[in-house]
Amino acid sequence: MLAFVGLMTSLFATVSVSAADRSVTYFVAEELPVGSTIGNVVADFALERRYSASTLATVYFEVLTAKPPGCARYLRLDNESWNIVIAERMDRERLCPNDLRCVLSYTLALRPLDLFQLFNLKVEVLDINDHVPTFSDQLVPRHVLETADIGTQLVVATVLDLDLGANGLDRYETTTDCAGFDPRPLTRRLSSGAVELRLRLRQQLDRETQARCSVVIWATDGGSPANSGSTRVEIIVDDANDNPPVFDADSYEVWIPEDVAVGTCFLGVTASDRDDGINAMITYSLETHGWGEPERKSPFQINSDSGLICLQDNVDFEQQSVYLLPVLATDGGAESLSGRSAVTVYVQDVNDNAPSIVVQVSVRQRLVFSPIKNTNLHKFFSEIGRGLTCQKLLAKKV
Ligand SMILES: [Ca+2]
Ligand SMILES: [Ca+2]
Ligand SMILES: [Ca+2]
Ligand SMILES: [Ca+2]
């Protein structure tokens, strides 16, 4: 049965001795200053009880093995005082980056040869809380589509604390103005030892209401005193084409004189789209029906970019005095959406025709005087009143 004795050898090192095995284990905090004494081989192996002072004056130790290889450089044995001192700074995170226990093992040979014995010396390097939680990719914004499903988890940060155990990552807090996300972060430890933090979507996003928001995250280790690190992450809500263009009026009315010149632009219609980028790029068009005579080419056209409606052919009040133009605004989304409005164009009469008179003489007979020039209309109608027929009046050249 092994008998271990725990002794305090300094403020940051303790020793366990197994006399039967000639084994000593020192528990040493990492980062002790070079020159710090962690033990004494003569005292800790109880050599005074085996050898006289004169014999001890002739002995010395030799390091036969060291594990891991190369770790012999961290200790120095003073063969006058028999003290074991730190010869090189020990960084636990560098010596044993992924091991909860960090143990250096040495086999010592007692010399000279006639006193030869083997001793085992171990140094367990204890962690101190010398690292703070550190976030990576601090300036990289995170993107989420506004139509993402509720329950979607967005990776917002990755944090690492090189310390392990109690001095490693322990707890996380967030504050955020991102209304759609649950502020309590979900965590996942990666193979690298870092911890990935995610926020879960708890309600539907709407880019048109909130296009970007931010989350501030604190990560705290379990040390005493604890260390904390923080980061601020921007979350950008990417647009989806979920809004159609909307005209600024449900309908438009416009009056144009019938003699307006071809090429004249007489009305501009405007639509807006709450989406972003190509999802809000609007193309205007006139629907291909609606001016009353589908077989005729429309006398109107619309500028697809500006929404200006212009005349591309003559209009004639006497032929058609009202036109109903359905106008369309279509966005540029992959699955485009459209909005509609209607333009009523009233053609106004101008004095572009000489007077014409149509007189219905009989069911079969129709006389048209057009144009009537140098005709005494008063006399014409008074003669009709006296019973003269039109033929007679024409013969008389009234
Ligand atoms: Ca540490
Ligand atoms: Ca730490
Ligand atoms: Ca749109
Ligand atoms: Ca949108």
Q: What is the mean pLDDT of the chain?
A: 84
User: What is the Cα–Cα distance from 279 to 330, expressed in whole angstroms?
Assistant: 10
Name the CATH architecture for the domain at 134-238. Answer: Sandwich (2.60)
Tell me the pLDDT band of 293, cut-offs 50, 70 and 90: low
4-126 is a CATH 3.10.20.30 domain: no
pTM of the model: 0.71
Residue 27 CA to ligand 1 centre (angstroms)? 14
User: Which bound ligand lies closest to the C-alpha atom of 97?
Assistant: 1
Tell me the pLDDT band of 347, cut-offs 50, 70 and 90: very high
Tell me the pLDDT band of 366, cut-offs 50, 70 and 90: very low
Asked if pLDDT for residue 2 goes beyond 80, the answer is no
Asked if pLDDT for residue 122 goes beyond 90, the answer is yes
User: What is the Cα–Cα distance from 140 to 157, expressed in whole angstroms?
Assistant: 9
Q: Which of these ranges, 65-79, 213-227, 248-262, 265-279, has the smallest mean pLDDT?
A: 65-79
User: What is the Cα–Cα distance from 238 to 203, expressed in whole angstroms?
Assistant: 16
pLDDT of amino acid 224? 94
What is the mean predicted confidence (pLDDT) over 325-341? 97
User: Which bound ligand lies closest to the C-alpha atom of 337?
Assistant: 3
- pLDDT digit string (tens) for 85-103? 999 999 999 999 888 899 9
pLDDT of amino acid 398? 36
Residue 271 CA to ligand 3 centre (angstroms)? 11
Asked if pLDDT for residue 17 goes beyond 80, the answer is no
Residue 240 CA to ligand 3 centre (angstroms)? 8
User: What is the Cα–Cα distance from 303 to 291, expressed in whole angstroms?
Assistant: 18
Say which residue the tokens 């993402």 belong to: 148
Residue 96 CA to ligand 1 centre (angstroms)? 10
Per DSSP, what are the bridge partners of residue 106? Answer: 66, 121
Domain ranges for the chain, please list them: 4-126, 134-238, 246-348, 357-396
Which residue, among 374, 146, 334, 139, has the nearest Cα to 238 in the 3D structure?
146
Asked if pLDDT for residue 295 goes beyond 80, the answer is no
- pLDDT digit string (tens) for 232-256? 999 999 999 999 999 999 999 999 9
DSSP-derived secondary structure letter, 101: S
Residue 119 CA to ligand 1 centre (angstroms)? 29
pLDDT of amino acid 357? 42
Give me 319's structure tokens: 């032929």
Residue 177 CA to ligand 4 centre (angstroms)? 20
Give 12-20's long-range contacts (Cβ < 8 A, gap of 24+): 12/36, 13/38, 13/39, 15/39, 15/44, 17/44, 17/45, 17/46, 19/46
Asked if pLDDT for residue 6 goes beyond 50, the answer is no
Is residue 58 a contact partner of residue 4, using CB atoms and an 8 Å limit? Answer: no
List strand residue ranges (DSSP E) for 287-370, in order: 300-302, 308-311, 322-331, 338-348, 357-360, 366-369
What are residue 22's phi and psi, to 5 degrees? Answer: 50, 45
Say which residue the tokens 């048109």 belong to: 208
User: Which bound ligand lies closest to the C-alpha atom of 330?
Assistant: 3
User: Which bound ligand lies closest to the C-alpha atom of 128?
Assistant: 1
User: What is the Cα–Cα distance from 158 to 175, expressed in whole angstroms?
Assistant: 16
% of the chain residues with pLDDT over 70: 81
Per DSSP, what are the bridge partners of residue 17? Answer: 5, 24
CATH number of the domain located at residue range(s) 246-348 in this protein: 2.60.40.60
The helix (H) or strand (E) run that includes residue 55 is helix 53-56
Residue 259 CA to ligand 1 centre (angstroms)? 90
Residue 148 CA to ligand 2 centre (angstroms)? 36
What is the mean predicted confidence (pLDDT) over 224-229? 96
Strands 251-257 and 338-348: parallel
